[in-house]
Amino acid sequence: MPPSMASKASDKRIHKSSSRRPSSPVGESGGGRADPDAQPSHQPGVSKRQGSALDPGLYLVATPIGNAQDLSQRAIAVLSAADVVACEDSRVSGRLFAMHNIDAKLTTYHDHNAHQRRPQLIKRMKDGESVALVSDAGTPAIADPGYKLARAAIEAGITVTAVPGANAALTALILSGLPTDRFLFEGYLPSRSNARRKVLAQLAAVPATLIFQESNKRLAASLADMADVLGNRGAAVGRELTKMYEEMRRAPLADLAAAYEDEGPPKGEIVVVVAGPGAGPEIDAAALDEMIIEALGDLSVRDAAEKIAAETGLARKQIYSRALDLKDGDG
């Protein structure tokens, strides 16, 4: 893994870039026909739309994360031909569908009704219907209950296919300038600092670029915890990706935390990308002991070892063993 960008003096300045792009589909209205009950109304195996070429099964369809033009031609065709489209919010999907003249029957599928809706959708597919699944934005089944529907369909012997497209995590990753050969998508961290720091300590030694989603209101605090637990690694914050006011900020974590603390919560959807652990500078035994003792003031032996391993590039096992000695007074 390439050395952490946090070790480079040139990274002390925040690099900010933005571009104006066509606006999000959320400003439009109309489209789609809500079907709250999602009950089958035709014979199994027979499509209710003339000219439908979709075979029975589940279609995972990616939708734009901001720019409505990112909906592919294949996605439009599948959404138009599906017997039913399962979506998080029929109002959000309806606005997007109206922009692309998609006439689709909509039913909701989200965290609050997935347990009830899932067997209904499985039955429809087993009866010969085609079901398309979309999220409000991006690729379904990522950080939403869509994967449970896909798993249930697979277990039922139903064909599952994907119509790929936009994804906020990968978009932020490729714009970050950080290594892309190995990465871990963590999603949202816990909202409380203590719980968040415990998760970050578990991730500290992962030899990969880390990708997080974050609330704009928690962004500054989360970045500060990352800098403290992971070390002042190189990072990037993506905001409103693909939308009119798309912005990427690239800098060490501590600099980003200070900037957002000073400016206040930014508007829009946020993705944070953080460099993996680097080799770090050489450190002598006395300096290492000092780092361990300081870390043990706030962290467990295990968490302290993971934190220092991430900051120094030293083996976690070596640091853990030394931390145990110091904690027991055998130093």
Could you identify the residue written with the tokens 């952490």? 4
The Cα 126–Cα 115 span in angstroms is 18
pLDDT per residue rounded down to tens, the chain (331 residues): 443 333 333 344 466 665 554 444 433 333 555 554 443 333 333 334 444 579 999 999 999 999 999 999 999 999 999 999 999 999 999 999 999 999 999 999 999 999 999 999 999 999 999 999 999 999 998 888 899 999 999 999 999 999 999 999 999 999 999 999 999 999 999 999 999 999 999 999 999 999 999 999 999 999 999 998 998 899 999 999 999 999 999 999 999 999 999 999 999 899 999 999 874 455 678 888 998 999 999 899 988 887 887 666 566 777 888 999 888 776 5
Q: Rounded to whole angstroms, how far apart are CA atoms 128 and 261?
A: 54
Chain-centroid distance of CA 146 in Å reads: 14
Q: Give, as one character, the DSSP assignment of residue 269.
A: -
The candidate with the shortest Cα–Cα distance to 314, out of 278, 287, 286, is 278
In tens, the pLDDT along 276-329 reads: 987 445 567 888 899 899 999 989 998 888 788 766 656 677 788 899 988 877
Residue 129 confidence (pLDDT) = 97
State residue 118's pLDDT score: 97
CATH 3.40.50.300 is right for the domain spanning 25-163: no
Spatial distance between the Cα atoms of 111 and 102, rounded to a whole number of angstroms: 25
Domain 169-274: assigned CATH number: 3.30.950.10
- Counting every residue, how long is the chain? 331
What does the pLDDT read at residue 25?
Answer: 40
**Residue 140 bridge partners (DSSP):** none
What are the residue ranges spanned by the domains of the chain? Answer: 25-163, 169-274, 285-327
Note the pTM of the prediction, 2 decimals: 0.72
Q: Rounded to an integer, what distance in angstroms lies between the CA atom of residue 4 and that of residue 275?
A: 6
